[in-house]
A and B are shown apart, each in its own frame.
Chain A
């Protein structure tokens, strides 16, 4: 294998904690009795439900129609009968409109779910349309609608597509297993994305702590022209969009800018596989791989879960909780969102369900900043987190803005390394919110 090893400047080294599931093959989760499918699983405008109580639905049937440009349709993951259309709690922490469907366990597919033809016969526009209609969003967790990413504003030219297989979040192994078990789908998805954007250069970046996945993807891509598989140094946040672009191409996305500003579009490997499914099978995005792990889970697993299955059911399928549960997190430990309830559905962006024990979840008391500068060293954006944080804690948000609070990507590296256990990223988040609120106010005047 002739693979380059690349990286970015800064970053932290949290323990990988992937041992529990990195060797477990993906298993299809049991089909749930009921699914609760939120009408908002993406960044952007929520969908309008287009089914009503009593309707019969099939697998792959559209049940939510996007409203607005930045939005993405929602499909049913099972066949059965609509029981309710009402606001329910989801992993965002609030209630959103959900379609609740009772499973008839027949798994009847919609007739229109058929392969969309060969890649070479599809035009760029057709591919974009398939992706849009399949409801594909960024599956790394950010859930930005993929077709919007592909719709470049006039004047922007893109020459490179990068697939993100870094999976730098500790504990998570869903991308790892996907690349290992189905590298062909990942490579196919990349080819489709490259064709959609009319570019000839594609990268697949994978961290060095997944040598088996690197090899599998390398072998699947070695005869493809223009596709380079690169090894990425195992370092957090290697999978952050701007850091990944910098590692692969050496380009620097301008502050406040988008990847397209430097000619790049980045997608997660899971997103590429979903694109492959949408073209090769014709199936919209109705299921995803979820890593269910942490010491608080009895039998950690990588499960292929139907969208709308409750966390509770998924956790039960993994043997339930093992001991004192400290925290339940949707996503990984660095950027995932802690959940107060497990009666919430798995959505398109749920890359993992992490259950920490009381011991794991204990957060130490903060003490005085000793100005050791570790936060400055690890910050992938070259910020000085201690200064932003200090200004924020003093309610001096203008000064926080001056020291570049808005550039923070909230990766949490600073809070992770801080020996004084200061709430760095928390206070920077507060500052960002205040600054945004002020800008909005200034605009409306």
Chain B
């Protein structure tokens, strides 16, 4: 029997759940694997190269920034790996290694760490980096950079570019090919099926709620249906095109830059959906997912403020 020991004292609760940041990030990585396999399957081994460069430079940038800022190095939480993966998913498989590295470093060093690190980035780092790359190296990030799936390495426009501009000799892809990902596009955005599997896994694991993806995809579908002259084909085409599944399940749900409340998440989904359709139909640029999410990211603090949940037992303030 311990005699005069003083036992340790802390305030309650004295137990914690097994949930950790690392586990959350690991779940996201697992959920991204089907889409990575689809990318390798359709666009070849170069995808692995691009993905590795993206991850290594993201993790490297995190170490460097944390050393410079004299903060503890937290690469074990795997968040930099997630950012690297997502960036790789957002570039064409033909992207040169330096382009990918610049994207990753920008995402981690500027968008994440200059604003306070994990949880403080006001935009999705991978998406912000994609926007930067697109503005700086448009040729390497658009049309001619996209390959048609298969071994021939001919370039292929994305379904939305085809729809908007039309390319001689290229017909619109079938809905089935768009669903399984047998179309031109960025590495991780083409296979709606693979992304859906990953997204459902995240919902099953409780990492994300279904609200943002469901409302986002639903809004795009409904608006495309109406604007497209009440054509179900048009609605489905828009849902499966342009990386909407990647954006809806994996980018718009980024914790740090999306609303936390149920109402706020619905607002995020509707807002991003409307913006996506506006850009696709009326903008100069065929794809609208990344910019619409970035715009909603910026609106997130405001959305959070106006959607604070009603507290239990709230009494109406008498005026």
Contact = CB atoms under 8 A, between A and B. Distances in A.
A339 B5 CA distance: 11
A252 interface: yes
With a 10 A CB-CB cut-off, give which of B16, B74, B79 has the most chain A CB atoms.
Answer: B16
Given A255-B313, A372-B255, A333 B13 contact: yes
A371 B256 contact: yes
A124 interface: no
A371 B122 CA distance: 12
Interface stretch (B19-27, B46-54, B123-131, B288-296): B19-27
B284 interface: no
A407 interface: yes
B318 to A, nearest CB: 13
Given A255-B311, A376-B260, A382-B310, A361 B8 contact: yes
Which of B207, B256, B260, B308 has its CB near the most chain A CB atoms (within 10 A)?
B260
Contacts of B19: 374, 417-419
Contact of B311 (A335, A363, A383): A383
A376 B315 contact: no
A47 B311 CA distance: 38
B134 interface: no
Interface string B305-318: 00011111111000
A360 B312 contact: no
A317 to B, nearest CB: 12
B312 A373 contact: no
B136 interface: no
B15 A373 contact: no
Nearest to A343: B4
A170 interface: yes
A363 B15 CA distance: 8
Interface in B67-85: 74, 77, 79
A142 B256 CA distance: 38
B16 A384 contact: no
Contacts of B302: none
A286 B6 CA distance: 29
Contacts of B309: 376, 382-384
Nearest to B76: A367
Interface string A4-26: 00000000101100000000000
A253 interface: yes
Given A370-B119, A371-B255, A384-B308, A416 B17 contact: yes
Interface residues of B, number: 40
The interface residues of chain B, by DSSP majority, are classed as loop
A316 interface: yes
Given A371-B255, A419-B20, A329 B312 contact: no
A356 B12 CA distance: 13
B1 A415 contact: no
B263 to A, nearest CB: 11
B312 A338 contact: no
Nearest to B117: A368
Interface string A316-345: 100011000111110001111111111000
B13, B20, B310, B313, most chain A CB atoms within 10 A: B13
B16 A255 contact: no
A58 interface: no
Interface stretch (A126-134, A195-203, A266-274, A421-429): A421-429
Given A325-B7, A336-B12, A367-B77, A419 B315 contact: no
A229 B61 CA distance: 60
Nearest to B11: A426
B7 A404 contact: no
Given A412-B13, A417-B19, A370 B118 contact: yes
B8 A326 contact: yes
A12 B12 CA distance: 15
22 contacts: A93-B9, A170-B15, A256-B313, A321-B1, A327-B7, A333-B12, A333-B13, A338-B10, A340-B8, A361-B14, A364-B20, A367-B77, A368-B119, A368-B120, A371-B255, A382-B309, A415-B13, A416-B17, A417-B17, A419-B23, A419-B24, A429-B11
- Nearest 7 pairs of A and B residues by beta carbon: A412-B13, A373-B260, A381-B312, A255-B313, A382-B309, A368-B118, A338-B9
Interface of A: 12, 14-15, 93, 170, 242, 246, 252-257, 312, 316, 320-321, 325-329, 333-342, 354, 356, 360-361, 363-364, 367-374, 376, 380-384, 386, 403-404, 407, 410, 412, 415-421, 425-426, 429
Given A335-B13, A363-B10, A420-B21, 4 more contacts: A329-B12, A340-B7, A370-B79, A412-B13
